Chains A and B, each alone.
Chain A
Amino acid sequence: MKIERILLAIGTKMHRENADKVLRTSNYQYRIISNSLDVLSVLEEDLYHALFIDLEMEKGNGIEVLKVIRKHFSSPVNAIPAIALFTSQEKNNADFLIANGFNWSVPMNFTIEDLNSTISWISNAEPDTEVVKKSSSDINFEFFRQCSGNDKAFMMDMADLFYKTYPETIQRLKKFHSMQDWKMIYFESHKFSAQLAYLGLKEAYDYADSIETITEQGFLNSEMIYERILNLEKSCNFGIIELDKFIRQL
């Protein structure tokens, strides 16, 4: 996904000025706003490719605002890449942020290098057209519906659980990859593939299954494994949107 338009929501004037100074040196179109309520109204009216959001703003913090976006906005806004802006190291708790729907985090007083590396990462992490096209034919929720006894509430609970946990799983896979801990990658992908099979996310299942097979057989091509982890993430990002649509239509 190409990132061209960025929305930033920052509570303090000093940090808004810093962001403006950095963004002026970039080629991105951007808008900086100062409170969380504006985030929702701006996203309702305009399309942005990434959202940088202050964790502590007046009238609802960034975490609460993102929850509303993820839960109540329709596609593609509900899947907008979200980057947490934090002022202290304590706030940069990756597990916590991922569990709350963030894709990445940067310090509030970010530099142009921080901005570029973040955009680069986000661009790779988001589903691109090719993956979306391929995924459409590789999703079948009938087994999931059957396993859930056609119970919409239960299916929604399972979808919520998956939405909450899959970014953590992907994050763990990336962490184990950086540690070259192939045994743990094998274990994680083995477990994850069972979930994906139940949900009917076939393409994502195939990626998880291939990571499991590669690491089990000791064929340890680090780059290939990392690429498959990224593809797995893209496929899950797409799959959860489709799953949400499917459940809403029941």
Chain B
Amino acid sequence: MAIRSFNSGKKRILVCEDDEMVINVICYKLEKDGYDIDKAIDGKQAADKIRSNVYDILIVDMMMPYMTGLEITGLVRNELMQSTPIIILSKIGIEETILKAFEMGADDYIVKPFSPNELSVRVKKLLTLKG
């Protein structure tokens, strides 16, 4: 499958989240920040998009239909061997789950409900770190 890249000059972010309200809140802020946003509303759609497009950062909800955030992280790191920064979103803030996400290769972990401003800062920081 050919991988599609984007040439808008903007950093491209894939937001994988099945809750319409949460995805709207995230996208509203990140679009205002000037990013090019793509959305996936379940794990399967997220995997398809990741396989066929190039993104600068992935924001992935932990609990989605078909594939969890951890499974998506595993797909990116182990199967596709990509180093795209991944931010995991979850309502679950227990240490064990957070550590598991980092072990799988996530770069950041944010507990819901989070401020979109906080997410914005974390996105910016990760993009800077990854060049």
Contact = CB atoms under 8 A, between A and B. Distances in A.
A179 interface: no
B22 interface: yes
Which DSSP category, helix, strand, loop or mixed, fits chain A's interface?
helix
Interface of B: 18-22, 24-25, 28-29, 32, 63, 91, 112-113, 115-117
A146 B115 contact: yes
Contacts of B28: 148-149, 151, 154
B115 A147 contact: yes
Given A165-B21, A191-B63, 17 more contacts: A146-B117, A147-B113, A148-B25, A149-B28, A149-B29, A149-B32, A158-B25, A161-B21, A161-B24, A162-B21, A190-B91, A191-B18, A194-B22, A194-B113, A197-B112, A198-B21, A198-B22
Interface residues of A, number: 21
A195 B21 contact: yes
A193 interface: yes
A158 B24 CA distance: 8
A143 interface: yes
B24 A157 contact: yes
Contacts of B112: 194, 197
Interface string A109-148: 0000000000000000000000000000000000100111
A193 B22 contact: no
A198 B18 CA distance: 15
Contacts of B20: 161, 165
A190 B115 CA distance: 19
B19 A194 contact: yes
A187 interface: yes
B21 A147 contact: no
Contacts of A157: 24
A223 B95 CA distance: 32
Nearest to B113: A197
Closest 6 CB pairs of A and B: A197-B113, A195-B21, A194-B112, A198-B113, A191-B19, A147-B25
